[in-house]
Amino acid sequence: MIKLHSASREETVAIGEKLGKTIKKGDMIAFRGGLGAGKTAFTTGLAAGMGIRSEVCSPTFAIVNEYRGEDMNLYHFDMYRIIGEEGLESTGFFDYDFENNAAVIEWSENITEFLPKNTIWVTIEPVSENERDITIEGGVADAPDGHRYFG
Ligand SMILES: Nc1ncnc2c1ncn2[C@@H]1O[C@H](COP(=O)(O)OP(=O)(O)O)[C@@H](O)[C@H]1O
Ligand SMILES: [Mg+2]
């Protein structure tokens, strides 16, 4: 587990970018944190770190945005309005090729039981208007030298 502090949107984007550089095929990143925490900001950096040039925006209405990368795509879900297995199935979630791509999930709280064991958890907690505590669990965050990626 790695605990980080962000004092601006830009810092959150930069932290996302550092994690993005470590993302491999099959990785799934799940956010915990309410409205305006900075999940979409973090995802903007994550995509940039993966070398994706598309503009990242909240898939609130689309439920999922797909960004094309060179050797894998990034699937960006917003599960805000998703309830239960049927709701999740209606998004096509179970048909995505997660093994050969990467995925990031906003409002993962709604689908916790369907997430894989290797999920990378990113928790964003607002401390003030511009400050966030960011906790990353899983993936490089749990590697013995994990802190080096975020130095
Ligand atoms: N340290 C910070 N990290 C991320 N966002 C921040 C921070 N400080 C202020 N903000 C603001 O909070 C909002 C976060 O929005 P967004 O990333 O869309 O959140 P979410 O996707 O969690 O709803 C933006 O308006 C951003 O400018
Ligand atoms: Mg969002």
- Domain-embedded: residue 108: yes
Nearest CA to ligand 1 atom 26: 9
Q: What count of residues does the chain have?
A: 151
Q: How far is the CA of 41 from the centre of ligand 1 (A)?
A: 6
The residue whose CB lies within 8 Å of the most ligand 1 atoms, and thus the one to mutate among 35, 130, 134, is: 130
Its pTM stands at 0.97
- Domain-embedded: residue 147: no
- Domain-embedded: residue 149: no
Q: Which ligand is nearest to the CA of 5?
A: 1
Q: How many domains does the chain have?
A: 1
pLDDT of 60: 82
- Domain-embedded: residue 143: no
Q: State which residues form the domain around 86.
A: 2-138
Residue the block writes with tokens 């994990």: 146
- Domain-embedded: residue 66: yes
CATH number at residue 110: 3.40.50.300
One-letter identity of residue 6: S
Ion ligand 2: residue ranges with CB closer than 5 A:
39-40, 58, 106
Nearest C-alpha neighbor of 138 from the set 10, 12, 24:
24
The two structure tokens encoding residue 98: 């997660």
DSSP-derived 3-state class of residue 4 = strand
Q: Which pLDDT tens digit goes with each residue over 40-72?
A: 999 999 999 999 999 999 888 889 999 999 999
- Domain-embedded: residue 145: no
Report the nearest atom of ligand 1 relative to the CA of 130. 8
Q: Which pLDDT tens digit goes with each residue over 88-123?
A: 999 999 999 999 999 999 999 999 999 999 999 999
- Domain-embedded: residue 148: no
